[in-house]
Structure 1
């Protein structure tokens, strides 16, 4: 196995692999995360059974942008109206125009049962329609299933508050990266949350393991640039203990030592820990504690990791690519 010193961190020049970026296709930012913490209760939109004829009629009325919105919500599992607007309606002459168009589209997709909304809003009732959280409803699920023979029908769970907070935080980072890249002229080559970002590998004992980053990001300094930098992003909202966080770091270390990423793509992505908490002082203390633990971890390659706050992380990643 290759030694530590021979394994570069971050992709070198001309490392933009077609296979790595093939997880994400289409004009819009791709997103996904699985529902591994939701409650068992259902939130399915109630309504009459949709016949195959009606399904075809609804699908025929969907525009390319409608389908892109559906794909983004499907891939991320849950998105707010604000996320959807940022991803798919930011090309209008003004933010007001984009917002109005987004609201009209979402009302129509809800009426057709392509998308549904959860019972709770992000930010409470004062957040208005921007705080509504969308998921793929019955018709949208059947449309998505038609193009994927391996896909099975599923229930539409109302997630726990903790799971939804974590999912929304991951979406915030992903949407923020796109906004920061657009502002600075950088290119988002790929954004792939957990389901698409997972990496199978074999550990030193010969056991099969799977690394599950919250988010995988590839960025280029400018569109078409062959110099791509990659990041694994972990979002922690203060729910996990430090030993649990360090165990995840040890899993990254095992995957790093396996050399798969370096062999296939020329380098290993930076591992960015985005750490927050319900109080700023607690979040700062957790960041400092993790940073100190990484520094003294004899079995951890400390330069693999970056510990930062949620505020400004997207701009930080883009700046690292632009000036790194």
Structure 2
């Protein structure tokens, strides 16, 4: 893409437009409802720093959101997936968006990203998981905007992936869903966050947990930061939480990490409270 084309695109977009495109680059897919929470706050809600505007009601915010998204769609900066999350009855809030051709080219030029691979419609499982991860990220943004926590760093995939040498010297990739650094008072907290939709069997969870253990044993993160992140699985409900906790404790190599709360399992409904508590608690 020529520099003149990039400048023309940038000049045609507002700061909020660009922040929406950046969010889609980071999180890959977002529903209208998630974009509304990020960029079109209602009076009394955590305010998005770029726009500095609030809307009088949820309806006003929703109308403004879909108007902006429709405009960006008409210029091929964004595109919608064919199916809606939650079905047709969920309305425009359920439309799922991703970068369109123009948006993808602009973001690639701005960030020096490699050429895009041929597009294929993602599976429903992939979309559901990606949106669940994005929702957790947005909850962290919201907590930070209200001053409940300081959000010093937040990395989504693939930025949050880590490479290390395994037990036999082979290179391995650790692929968390999110990596976050939060702070409260004088204390800093590091987190690897896994969004669990109860779609994987216990052995898969254990293999991932053992990989976290191996990454911790490498000492890479500790050498740079002086501590190892807590690993948090965020699960749909209490039944799933109990099942994963039981599986982790049953593995002798992981039992001590669970006891020491280096590995924790919480429900999605408890995520905000859990992270807010870390804003005041000492490590």
CA distance in 2, matches of 1:127, 1:157: 25
CA distance in 2, matches of 1:78, 1:161: 12
Structure-2 residue corresponding to 1:101: 64
Is the aligned partner of 1:242 residue 2:202? yes
CA distance in 2, matches of 1:226, 1:197: 24
Higher RCO (C-alpha under 8 Å, 6+ residues apart): 1
Structure-1 residue corresponding to 2:230: 270
Q: Equivalent of 1:220, from 168, 178, 183?
A: 183
Superposition CA RMSD, Å: 2.2
CA distance in 1, matches of 2:174, 2:105: 30
**Secondary structure, counterpart of 1:322 in structure 2:** coil
Is the aligned partner of 1:295 residue 2:258? no
Structure-2 residue corresponding to 1:128: 91
Query: TM-score, normalising length from structure 1?
Result: 0.76
CA distance in 2, matches of 1:56, 1:181: 32
Is the alpha carbon distance of 1:226 and 1:140 closer, same or farther for their aligned partners in structure 2, counting shifts above 3 Å?
A: farther
Q: Equivalent of 1:205, from 159, 164, 168?
A: 168
Q: Point out where structure 2 has 5 or more consecutive residues left out of the alignment.
A: 42-46, 48-53
Is the aligned partner of 1:311 residue 2:274? no
Q: Point out where structure 1 has 5 or more consecutive residues left out of the alignment.
A: 1-49, 277-282
> Which runs of structure 1 show a deviation greater than 4 angstroms over 4 or more consecutive aligned residues?
50-56
Is the alpha carbon distance of 1:233 and 1:105 closer, same or farther for their aligned partners in structure 2, counting shifts above 3 Å?
A: same
Query: TM-score, normalising length from structure 2?
Result: 0.86
- Contact 2:190 2:230 (8 Å CA) reproduced: yes
Tell me the CA shift for residue 104 of structure 1: 1.9
Tell me the CA shift for residue 193 of structure 1: 1.7
Identify the range of structure 1 (250-259 vs 200-209) with the bigger mean alpha-carbon deviation.
200-209
CA distance in 2, matches of 1:108, 1:177: 28
**Secondary structure, counterpart of 1:195 in structure 2:** coil
Q: Equivalent of 2:28, from 77, 91, 100?
A: 77
Is the aligned partner of 1:151 residue 2:114? yes
- Contact 1:58 1:112 (8 Å CA) reproduced: no
Is the alpha carbon distance of 1:150 and 1:51 closer, same or farther for their aligned partners in structure 2, counting shifts above 3 Å?
A: closer
Is the alpha carbon distance of 1:115 and 1:150 closer, same or farther for their aligned partners in structure 2, counting shifts above 3 Å?
A: closer
Which string of whole-angstrom CA distances, capped at 9 and with x for unpartnered residues, describes residues 301-323 of structure 1? 22211111111213311212323
- Contact 1:272 1:308 (8 Å CA) reproduced: yes
- Contact 2:76 2:101 (8 Å CA) reproduced: yes
Tell me the CA shift for residue 125 of structure 1: 1.0
Is the aligned partner of 1:167 residue 2:125? no
CA distance in 1, matches of 2:220, 2:119: 36
